[in-house]
Amino acid sequence: MLMAVALLTIAVHPLLARSRDDVLTGMFRCAPIGDSRTWLECFYGAAQPLRVDLGLQPAPASQVQLSRNPPTGGLPAGDPNPRYQATTEALRCNSIGEDRQWLNCYYAAAQPVRAQIGLSPAPQALAGAVKPAGGATINPAGNALAPSRASGVERSGPALQGPNPGWLQLASYSFNRYGIFTISLSNGQQWRQLSGDTSLAHWSKPAAKYWVRVTRGALGSVNLRIKGDAAAYKVERIN
Write out the residue range of the structural domain in which residue 14 sits. 2-119
Task: Per residue of the chain (239 residues), give pLDDT as tens.
Answer: 444 444 444 444 443 457 888 898 889 888 888 888 999 999 999 999 999 999 988 888 899 999 998 886 566 666 788 888 898 888 888 888 889 989 989 999 999 999 988 888 777 666 553 332 233 222 222 222 223 332 334 333 333 334 555 799 999 999 988 888 999 999 999 998 887 677 789 999 999 999 999 887 655 568 899 999 888 888 888 88
Which residue type sits at 46?
Answer: A
| Residue 30 sits in the same domain as residue 106 | yes
Is the full-model pTM beyond 0.85?
A: no
Q: In angstroms, what is the C-alpha Rg of the chain? A: 19
CB burial readout 206-228, b (16+ within 10 A) else e? ebeebbbbbbbbbeebbbbbbee
| Residue 103 sits in the same domain as residue 203 | no
| Residue 28 sits in the same domain as residue 104 | yes
In the chain, the number of structural domains is 2
Question: Taking the alpha carbons of 5, 36, 239, 188 in that order, is the dihedral positive or negative?
Answer: negative
Residue 136 lies in a domain: no
Residue 169 lies in a domain: yes
* Dist. CA 32–CA 107, nearest whole Å: 20
CB 107 within 8 A of CB 124: yes
| Residue 90 sits in the same domain as residue 158 | no
CB 20 within 8 A of CB 36: no
